[in-house]
């Protein structure tokens, strides 16, 4: 084989390897949605189990085409802030946005980001169960998954995002644009959505509303953890014959992420176990542990990732209890698990990993002030649209179901089938969906 | 906090935080062990307390 042919063969092999790698990352990320489906249905009372599942399935379905229509373009267009740069390759009529033998990358990168988007929308999904209208939810899911988070990704999870070029932002595992944005978006929505009937007493004290299947919820949470390995694998950039780089262009290894993901995971469970002894919060702690270490999964000393995850696992339950005092009903603790852990992740990186140089030496190195400023940006980017748009939906009466339907149960009120038709559970008579 | 063990990405190998500070690494390791052992000890105490309550017929 001639030298040029040999090089061409190596180049093609690298291209195919890249394509295969992101294909399987995307496939593994679908498991996140299997997890969210089980988690949210299990966390719902039996009378709402399927309605919670329908909502989750629809979030995924609506995210795919909307992310194709404008989500991917937003990511490519806004690394400088609100003024778009040329991003014609991300427009839905671009030649790269369809089967193209000259482009093995666009489809698999779009698919991976679409799954990141659907994950972000699903973070909201669990918090609002048992009282949100499907139509209002779908609008909010599209806003969060195909607009808001991806704008945050363009700012702070992009090779040239302004948070990195101006503040030295570093966030390997998307604690900011995915978890913090989603967590604070949820908080804004929950304020307008209001608590489920019976969640709070007149004196402000909270009543627990238990899901009908905690084991199902726990299995769902573990499936989300499995899917996280696809998610975090998708955060690494395959460089063919060269070392991996993170999304900011800094060299890294998958081994780094393997060490620290597992250490953060374990620390989160142990922290939540110590604080609550509650298996639901322990598995939420597993998520919180990974999210807490997410910003520095590529650079932390593994015992440090364990300790940061441990703190994340310790703080989520008190954080959830704190918002309950304001009569905010977060059915699965998503604000605490994603929003609070996400902020902690970014601040922790500023504390423990300040001074890491950027890929471009002209950009500021990681620093605590820059990480805190970026965390504030991400929190505001999530909260403001979540609050404002849910307020508008509330004004048009498409945010929350009526009281009768909520008391009856959403499955009986709007679905043609029941989750456990032979279980003998009192339910309203089935009727065809209108 | 000086946690970066290299000056430039060029030629860097051990890039993790505090790779150049054995003392800080030791603190992290000891703290990890304390968390593990401490949680097990707390768990034993919690179980003893819970089982004692159960034995006395309390929930």
C-beta atoms surrounding A325 within 10 Å: 11
Residues of A in contact with B25 (CB under 8 A): 301, 303
Which strand (E) or helix (H) includes residue B16?
A: none
pLDDT in tens, A312-327: 999 999 999 999 999 9
Give yes or no for a contact between A192 and A394, defined as CB atoms under 8 angstroms apart. yes
* Complex-level ipTM: 0.95
Which one of A244, A285, A299, A301 makes the best mutation probe of the B interface by having the most chain B beta carbons within 10 Å? A301
- Please give, rounded to a whole number of angstroms, the shortest distance from the CA of B45 to a CA of chain A: 12
Residue A400: strand, helix, or coil:
strand
Residue A267 contacts B, CB cutoff 8 Å: yes
Question: What's the whole-number average pLDDT of chain A?
Answer: 95
Q: Write down the pLDDT at residue A434.
A: 45
> What are A391-413's pLDDT values in tens digits?
999 999 999 999 999 999 999 99
User: Could you tell me which of A321, A93, A332 has the C-alpha nearest to residue A204?
Assistant: A321
- Asked if pLDDT for residue A61 goes beyond 50, the answer is yes
Residue A77 banded pLDDT, cuts 50, 70, 90: very high
* CA gap A261, A173 in Å, rounded: 10
> What b-and-e string marks burial along A283-314, b requiring 16 or more CB atoms within 10 Å of the CB?
bbbbbbbbbbbbbbbbbbbbbbbbbbbbbbbb
- Inspect the interface and report whether the beta carbons of A354 and B39 lie closer than 8 Å: no
CA distance B3 to chain A (A): 6
Q: Do B16 and A307 touch (CB under 8 A)?
A: no
Q: How far is A119 from chain B (nearest CA, A)?
A: 29
Nearest CA in chain A to B5: A356
Per cent of chain A over pLDDT 90 is 94
Nearest CB neighbour to B3, from listed A273, A274, A352: A352
Query: Rounded mean pLDDT of chain B?
Result: 93
How far apart are alpha carbons A160 and A249 in whole angstroms? Answer: 9
Q: How many helices (H) and strands (E) does chain A have?
A: 17, 2
Measured between alpha carbons, how far is A33 from A126 in angstroms, rounded to an integer? 12
Give the C-alpha separation, A395 to A397, whole Å: 5
**CA B37/CA A294 separation, integer angstroms:** 25
CA distance A265 to A286: 5
**Furthest-apart CA atoms within chain A: distance in Å:** 82
Q: Is A254 on the interface with B (CB under 8 A)?
A: no
Can you tell me the distance from the alpha carbon of A293 to that of A264, in angstroms, rounded to the nearest whole number? 6
Contacts of residue A393, Cβ cutoff 8 Å, sequence gap at least 6: A136, A139, A140, A192, A399
- Interatomic CA distance for residues A120 and A23, integer angstroms: 19
- pLDDT tens by residue, A348-366: 999 999 999 999 999 999 9
Dist. CA A404–CA A317, nearest whole Å? 32
* The pLDDT value given to residue A169: 97
- What does the pLDDT read at residue A425? 56
Mean pLDDT computed over B33-54: 95
Tell whether the model's pLDDT for residue B57 goes beyond 70: yes
Element at A367 (helix H, strand E): none
Angle between helices A214-233 and A279-294 (to 10 degrees): 10
The encoded tokens of residue A410 equal 């959403």
Residue A82 in contact with partner chain B when CB distance is under 8 A: no
What's the rounded Cα separation, in Å, for the pair A107 and B35?
44
Where do we find the tokens 């997410």? Answer: A294
Residue A106 three-state SS: helix
DSSP bridge pairs for A400: A132
Between helix A368-395 and helix A134-143 the angle, nearest 10°, is 150
For residues A181 and A187, give the distance between their C-alpha atoms in angstroms, rounded to a whole number. 10
CB pairs under 8 A between A and B: 65
Residue (of A268, A314, A1, A249) closest to B9 by Cα position = A249
DSSP A235-268: TEEP-TTS--EETTS-B--HHHHHHHHHHHHHHH
State how far the Cα of A162 lies from the Cα of A235, in Å rounded to an integer: 19
Q: What is the pLDDT of residue B1?
A: 72
Q: Inter-chain contact A304–B36, Cβ cutoff 8 Å?
A: no
Q: What is the pLDDT of residue A111?
A: 96
Q: Which two tokens stand for residue A364?
A: 């500021």
pLDDT tens digits, A91-136: 999 999 999 999 999 999 999 999 999 999 999 999 999 999 999 9
- Using the Cβ of A161 and the Cβ atoms of chain B, whether some distance falls under 8 Å is answered with no
Mean pLDDT of the B6-28 span: 95
Q: pLDDT tens, A259-297?
A: 999 999 999 999 999 999 999 999 999 999 999 999 999
Candidate from B18, B42, B46 with C-beta closest to A301 = B18
Give the separation between CA A314 and CA A318, rounded to whole angstroms. Answer: 8
Residue A81, pLDDT > 50, answer: yes
Residue with tokens 């991996």: A244
A401 neighbors A131 (Cβ within 8 angstroms):
yes
* Segment A288-308 mean pLDDT: 98
**Confidence grade of residue A333 (pLDDT, cut at 50, 70, 90):** very high
Q: Give A305's contacts in chain B (Cβ within 8 Å).
A: none
- Write the residue in A304, A351, A354 that is nearest to B28 by C-beta: A304
Q: To probe the interface with B, which of A272, A285, A304, A306 has the most B CB atoms within 10 Å?
A: A304
CB < 8 Å to B28, chain A: 301, 303-304, 307
Which alpha helices (H) appear in A91-213, and where do they start and end? 106-127, 134-143, 149-156, 162-167, 181-193
């Amino acid at each position: 084989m001639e030298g040029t042919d040999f090089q061409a063969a190596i180049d093609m092999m690298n291209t195919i390897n890249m394509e295969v790698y992101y294909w399987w990352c995307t496939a593994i990320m679908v498991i996140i949605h299997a997890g969210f489906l089980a988690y949210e249905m299990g966390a719902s009372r039996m009378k709402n189990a399927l309605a919670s599942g329908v909502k989750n399935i629809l979030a995924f379905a609506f995210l795919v085409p909307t992310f194709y229509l404008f989500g991917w373009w937003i990511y490519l267009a806004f690394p400088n802030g609100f003024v778009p740069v040329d991003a014609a390759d991300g427009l839905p009529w671009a030649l790269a946005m369809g089967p193209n033998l000259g482009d093995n990358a666009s489809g698999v990168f779009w698919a991976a980001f679409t799954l990141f988007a659907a994950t972000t929308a699903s973070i909201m999904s669990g918090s609002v169960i048992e009282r949100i209208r499907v139509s209002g939810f779908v609008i909010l899911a599209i806003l969060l998954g195909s607009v808001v988070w991806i704008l945050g990704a363009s700012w702070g999870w992009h090779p040239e995002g302004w948070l990195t070029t101006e503040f030295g932002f570093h966030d390997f595992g998307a604690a900011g644009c995915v978890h913090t944005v989603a967590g604070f978006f949820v908080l804004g929505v929950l304020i307008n959505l209001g608590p489920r009937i019976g969640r709070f007493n007149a004196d402000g004290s909270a009543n627990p509303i238990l899901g009908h299947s905690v084991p199902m919820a726990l299995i769902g949470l573990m499936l989300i953890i499995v899917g996280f390995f696809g998610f975090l694998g998708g955060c690494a950039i395959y460089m063919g014959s060269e070392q991996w780089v993170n999304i900011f262009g800094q060299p890294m290894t998958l081994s780094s992420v393997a060490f620290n993901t597992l250490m953060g995971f374990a620390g989160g469970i142990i922290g939540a176990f110590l604080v609550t002894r509650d298996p639901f919060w322990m598995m939420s702690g597993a998520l919180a542990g990974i999210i807490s270490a997410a910003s520095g999964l590529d650079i932390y000393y593994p015992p440090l990732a364990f300790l940061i995850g441990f703190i994340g696992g310790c703080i989520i339950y008190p954080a959830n209890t704190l918002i309950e005092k304001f009569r905010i009903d977060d059915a699965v603790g998503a604000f605490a698990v994603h929003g609070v852990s996400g902020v902690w992740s970014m601040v922790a990186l500023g504390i423990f990993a300040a001074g890491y140089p950027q890929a471009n030496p002209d950009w500021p190195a990681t620093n605590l002030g820059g990480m805190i400023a970026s965390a504030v940006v991400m929190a505001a980017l999530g909260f403001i649209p979540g609050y404002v748009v849910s307020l508008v939906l509330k004004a048009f009466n498409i945010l929350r179901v009526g009281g009768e339907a909520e008391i009856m149960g959403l499955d009986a009120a709007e679905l043609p089938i029941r989750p456990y038709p032979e279980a003998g559970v009192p339910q309203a008579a089935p009727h065809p969906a209108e | 906090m000086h946690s970066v063990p290299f000056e430039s990405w060029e030629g860097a190998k051990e890039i993790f935080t505090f790779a150049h500070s054995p003392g800080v690494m030791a603190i992290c390791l000891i703290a990890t062990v304390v968390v593990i052992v401490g949680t097990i000890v707390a768990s034993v105490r919690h179980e003893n307390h819970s089982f004692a309550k159960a034995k006395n017929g309390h929930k």
